Amino acid sequence: QVQLAESGGGLVQAGGSLRLSCTASGSIFSIWTMRWHRQAPGKQRELVAAITSGGSTYYADSVKGRFTISRDNAKNTVYLQMSSLKPEDTAVYYCRVANTDYWGQGTQVTVSS
Closest Cα partner for 48 from 72, 79, 73?
A: 79
> Any idea of the CA torsion for 77, 36, 104, 3, to the nearest 10 degrees?
-40
pLDDT in tens, 26-45: 778 999 999 999 999 999 99
pLDDT in tens, 55-98: 999 999 999 999 999 999 999 999 999 999 999 999 999 999 99
Closest Cα partner for 49 from 18, 82, 85, 26?
A: 82
For residues 85 and 67, what is the distance between their CA atoms, to the nearest angstrom? 9
Mean pLDDT calculated for residue range 10-18: 98
Q: Please list, in sequence order, all residues whose beta carbon lies within 8 angstroms of the beta carbon of residue 90, skipping any fewer than 6 positions away.
A: 40, 109, 110, 111
The DSSP 8-state label assigned to residue 3 in this structure reads: -
Sheet containing 18-24: which strands, arranged edge to edge?
4-7, 18-24, 77-82, 67-72
For residues 93 and 58, what is the distance between their CA atoms, to the nearest angstrom? 16
